[in-house]
Structure 1
Amino acid sequence: MTNAPAGWYPDTEQPGNERWWDGTQWTEQRRPGIPAVPAPAPYQSAAAQPLAPAAPQAGANAQKPLWKRTWFIVTAAVVALIVVGSVSGAIAGGKKTDAIAVADTTPVASPTPTPAQTSAAPSPTPSTPPVEAPAPAAVDPTFFKANAGKQLDDYAKDLSDLSDAVAKGSTLRVMSNSIELAFNEGELAAIAPTTNIAPEWTTALAGLSITTTQIADAISKKDYTTVNNLVGQANQQVASLRDIASRAA
């Protein structure tokens, strides 16, 4: 069976309205129905008055009027559906065309150009005048002599204790005196000398630092003969540093 074409048809659920048939099924789209134009009544000629009632003839097939025949009714219904579908399609197409035309003619607002932002010229950075480093504070000669003399006395005592520990074979005391020598040498390096003796003091103290390191290396090797020789060398360096410190002014 061929389905009727898509179009508007009388709504059987809501009389007076029409419902959209999409060609395969009914949709939920409805609209007020268009009044149907009544079909003209078939022409009937005036019946002649029979002179006498005629008796029906047996075996004769009585023919129905044209408008009562089934094939005529079906054909008329199909034609009506086609006409209604064509009219509905034309109306819908016209509405769609109008909508497209309205959409095409609607002016599109162009974006307002944004003015380009110009970067502000960098403000000149004020130049900072160079800050002069403060001059080092003058070293008090009296304070330097007292402090340097105390640390040199401690170093000389540790040298004497080390020689005594080596002579007695006390390994523990030897290691302890070696640590004390390194500590006292560091204390001497932390003392700032006066300007007049600074170069000479720094050079002599560097020599004592080397001797202190050599004593520690000889102790680690248990070379006590070298240890005793280095102790004598260190005593001479201590005496030289005392002489330099005495000239601080």
Structure 2
Amino acid sequence: MKLEHTTAVVTGANRGLGRHIARQLRDRGANVFAGARNPDSVDLAGVTPLRLDITYPASVAAAASVGNAAILVNNAGVVTGSSLLGGELAHIRHEFETNFFGTLSVTRAFAPQLGEHAESYVLNILSAYSWLNVPFIGGYSASKAAEWSLTDGLRQDLAGQGTRVGGLYVALMDTDFSRVFDAPKEDPADVARLAVDAIENREFEVFADEESRSIRAGLPGGVEALYPSLSHASLSQASLSQEDQAR
């Protein structure tokens, strides 16, 4: 897909991965609208700041009035660190309102103008944890699983107008989102290059790290492959029950 002189909209473009993607698109010749709740926080030269809060319909509608977008990058998202049983329900709702409903709302708003182009593309920034639920961010994982399914649905809905929908999967990047994790992290600049390569090539899926590839490959193995600790726990419980019966 041609990027030069093509209009692209990136949500959550004032920091982290979104900022790097906006920069990459700019450097490859695209006309970039950098979405952020506070447009004054967009400090990237050569892009147009765009006021956009993806959780407010009026803000989404106003942002879509830019017109002529052929590329949409749904990058904006939140993680609250809420577990499914112990976390605040309001926090989990916020994750769904942003990661799922916000992504859907923005895509619906921009779909008509995307369809005006011979080629157009939507890239949803997903997560390796779309496929693997991590308990202490269980709400986030669940919302990303929903966004994964959303991506598959939009892919089919938009195919008829020539809009390709792709998903980018990554576990941990060196951004504000992952600062609580003590583990190796990908450089968001490297992930952004993969993201923009995927846009150019109109790819359906791009895996930005080995963990994403590994988890994706493990899906056919089912629950036992993805959550081996559950099998061990079941075996331990069975052993305890047999001991109780023997007493």
TM-score normalised according to structure 1 size: 0.23
TM-score by length of 2: 0.23
Per residue, is there more strand in 1 or in 2? 2
Q: Higher relative contact order at CA 8 Å, sep ≥6: structure 1 or structure 2?
A: 2
Larger-Rg structure? 1
